Amino acid sequence: MGGSSPLGGSLRSCCETLDDEFTKAGEDYPGSRGDYNDHMRHCVGSCETTKKEGPVCAMGADLREGACEGLPNWLRRLLGRLCSDNDPFDYDSNRYGRMCGSDYRSCDACCDEVWRVERGGD
C-alpha cells in the first residue's frame, strides 16, 4: 500500500534496508560475540541504515536484539535470524552506528575509530 511513516520513508523500505545492511555487514565482518567483527557488524549495519533511512529506522536493530527474549529455545531456533542474543554489547555498537550515520566519513572508518577510542580495541 505504500505511504509514508514517521521513519522518513515507508516501513517496508526501512525493514528491507535493515535486512540488507545487516546482511552485508555480516558478510563483511563475520565473527563471534564481543569481538571487533561483532562491533563492526552492528555499528556498520546501523550506520548504513541511518545514512539511508534515518536514525529512527536504524533503531529497529535494537528491537531485534530483544524481540525473542524469554522465548523457549525451540521457538528461537524456528524463528532463526529474526532472533538475536540480546547482548548489551550489540546495543552499544548499534548506538555508535547511529551516531556514525551522521558523520561525513564512511561507516567503516567511523566504526573502526569508535572501536579504537571508545572500546579500547587495537
Q: Residue 67: helix, strand or coil by DSSP?
A: coil
Spans of all domains in the chain: 11-117
pLDDT, one tens digit per residue, over 24-36 is 999 999 987 889 9
Tell me how far apart the alpha carbons of residues 120 and 5 are, in angstroms, rounded to a whole number.
Answer: 38
Q: Which residue has the cell 529512527?
A: 56
Tell me how far apart the alpha carbons of residues 45 and 26 are, in angstroms, rounded to a whole number.
Answer: 8
Q: State the pLDDT at residue 69.
A: 74
pLDDT, one tens digit per residue, over 51-108 is 999 999 999 888 877 777 777 777 777 766 666 666 788 889 999 999 999 989 999 9
Q: Which residue has the cell 552492528?
A: 42
CB 38 within 8 A of CB 96: no
- For residue 1, is pLDDT > 50? no
Tell me how far apart the alpha carbons of residues 45 and 90 are, in angstroms, rounded to a whole number.
Answer: 11
**Selected residue with higher pLDDT from 48 and 64:** 48
Q: State the pLDDT at residue 97.
A: 96
